[in-house]
Chain A
Amino acid sequence: MAEFNYQNRRDFLKYFVGTSAVLTGFPALSKEVLKSKDISHLTILYTNDLHSRIEPFPTNDPKFANMGGFARRAAVIDSIKKENDNILLLDAGDIFQGTPYFNLYHGELEYKLMSLMQYDATTLGNHDFDLGIENIEKQMSHANFSFINCNYNFSDTCLHDKILPYKIFIKNGIKIGVLGYGIELQGLVDKKMYKNTVYQDPLGITNSTAKLLKNDLGCDYIIALSHLGFKYEEKKISDSSMAPLTENIDLIIGGHTHSFLEHPLKLSNKAGKEIYVTQVGWAGIWLGKLDLYFSYNKKKISHNSNNRKI
């Protein structure tokens, strides 16, 4: 009898240890497994620092000739949607500024196109304030995606009821919590542009927001849209320095430093759990893609395996 129990317990441990091994990156799952009802496949697509790059870079551009462009990115997204329509399309800020489209139309076209492309959410970058906070409010009438930020206090500004601290997206039964935070504006943006927006240290607010999303609101996966920047030589908060101090966040989609990361950086958070930090350069030259496979209905699997083994 003792041996019987031991066997069960060992199988039990093997099962869960096995699952957590998959967590840290197992080879691609087989097609049979992916088709199983117990697996949900979510594709996260992301951009950062689009900087009004509506058209591809011109053919005479010394660095990025013939790359990027909204109409092409939309075509790429269309083709990905044909494979998997369970998609979350996100952006990490600095949509505005960089081409004459912004000088002439003040961001109207950027927001219109991102709405047509069915972006789900963005956060605010410093350059989104370049024509003033009122301009953000004005152009938001062209946007049907969410603006997410939890560390700017907008209560004394025209954006007081327009920015969400977080948003929950339910995709095929999976609850995805998305929060956002931005960089210190003082010294980077003229005060007359950001007016009474108050910057608060992102770490504490982010951790409490993520805890709320995880523990109270039952999110299965938490994404941070960050405009802090990837990494600095000087002592300044960045995605790389903040990630190990966070809890409950699974993925940071960053911006600001225009960092082209070949692969997301895998770090350990405060609780020793893995957290990914990613960023895809700027101007829509790259489109980031992260495929997540969730096993759900876990209760049934456990129950089955339990029955079978006993």
Chain B
Amino acid sequence: MITYKIKIFFFSALISLYACQQKTLVTNISETHIIVNENKVDSTIYNTISPYKKLQDEKMKTVIARSEDAFLKADVESTLGNFFCDAVLFETKKLLGADSALVDIAVFNKGGLRNALPKGNITVGNVFELMPFDNELVILKLSGSQVKDMLNKIAEKGGIPIGGMTLVINKTMASNVIIKGKSFDETKDYWIVTSDYLANGGDNYTFFKNAKERKVMNALLRDVIINYCKDITQQGKTLKPTLDGRIQLSK
């Protein structure tokens, strides 16, 4: 009988100890996600947005170009990346005027292109969403060996937005590099157009940091894209998404 009491005492102590440490216990978890696409809106939130929206729409709704199809992001080579780099290269040459032959290549980053462009009307707002950052256009003079570092980083990343050159990715090495119609020459210097963000080593683009020369173009990247859209429209053309095999994976 004594044994029994002791056992019960021990038993109760154990329970109260447990109860004390864990006064609450998760007994059940259920999770879900809700896709937000219903038309029901909260009127307070809607009304708060209204005055902001009105002013924003006035500034953003201007149509600056038409596109034949949507421009999208992709892994190796993308229609959005090609468009962006070609547009920047075209406008940079325009800004450089007599020195337009100077720039060879445009190099950007996937993460910097923030949204796709739709099929049909392209508005100022669309370009703001593609390039919301107030990044500036910068041109950099890189030595051949610095370019080589850059090319291998491009390969390592499995392709990034580029313009003015073509290359083949062989695992983590770049090969068959053609710049302005000529094979890449490691003994030569090259001029590259990019953003001040990447030129400062953003997104870990360390290969830009020790550039031999650097020129700030005093133009916002976003404005450059807006100008390109306007230029194409002025020529009576539409924007056309293209993949031209500028980056290929070796088989």
Contact = CB atoms under 8 A, between A and B. Distances in A.
A67 B38 CA distance: 8
Contact of A72 (B15, B16, B29, B40): B40
Interface stretch (A23-31, A133-141, A155-163): A23-31
Given A9-B11, A66-B37, A298 B29 contact: no
A217 B20 CA distance: 14
Interface residues of B, number: 66
Interface stretch (B92-100, B163-171, B200-208, B231-239): B200-208
B119 A290 contact: no
B132 A288 contact: no
A289 B42 contact: no
B144 interface: no
Interface residues of A, number: 91
Interface string B3-46: 11001100110011011101111111111111111111111111
Given A98-B114, A296-B23, A299-B23, A287 B31 contact: no
Interface stretch (A52-60, A196-204, A205-213, A239-247): A52-60
Interface stretch (A84-92, A144-152, A276-284): A276-284
Contacts of A264: 31
B49 A113 contact: yes
Interface in A24-76: 25-26, 28-29, 39-40, 51-52, 54-56, 58, 60-63, 66-76
A117 interface: yes
Interface of B: 1, 3-4, 7-8, 11-12, 15-16, 18-20, 22-46, 48-49, 52-53, 55-56, 59-60, 70, 72, 114-116, 118-121, 125, 128-129, 132-134, 197, 200-204
Contacts of B40: 72, 75-76, 79
A33 B102 CA distance: 75
Contacts of B53: 54-55
Nearest to B60: A100
Contact of A294 (B18, B19, B24, B116): B24
A293 B28 contact: yes
B128 A99 contact: yes
A52 B49 CA distance: 12
A101 B53 CA distance: 8
B41 A104 contact: no
A17 interface: no
A298 B56 contact: no
Contact of B128 (A23, A100, A291): A100
Nearest to A301: B19
Contact of A285 (B27, B29, B36): B36
A74 B42 contact: yes
Contact of A190 (B20, B46, B120, B197): B197
Contacts of B204: 187
Contacts of B24: 40, 173-175, 220-221, 294-296, 298
A112 B133 contact: no
Q: Which of B11, B27, B120 has the most chain A CB within a 10 Å cutoff?
A: B27
Contact of B28 (A4, A12, A29, A117): A29
A29 B25 CA distance: 14
B31 A23 contact: no
A76 B38 contact: yes
B202 A190 contact: yes
Interface string A82-115: 0000000000000001111111110001001100
A267 interface: no
Contacts of B133: 97, 130
Nearest to A69: B36
B34 A76 contact: yes
A295 B24 CA distance: 6
A14 interface: no
A62 B119 contact: yes
A73 B46 CA distance: 11
Given A62-B119, A71-B45, A116-B44, 6 more contacts: A62-B118, A112-B48, A276-B29, A287-B36, A296-B25, A298-B18
A289 B45 contact: no
A100 B33 contact: no
A128 interface: no
Nearest to B20: A299
A100 B202 contact: no
B111 to A, nearest CB: 9
A294 B201 CA distance: 48
Given A288-B33, A289-B34, A78 B202 contact: no
Contact of B34 (A61, A286, A295, A297): A286
Contacts of A68: 36-37
B33 A286 contact: yes
A100 B99 CA distance: 34
A58 B36 contact: no
Nearest to B120: A60
Given A69-B41, A187-B202, A286-B33, A39 B27 contact: yes
Contacts of B37: 56, 66-68, 72
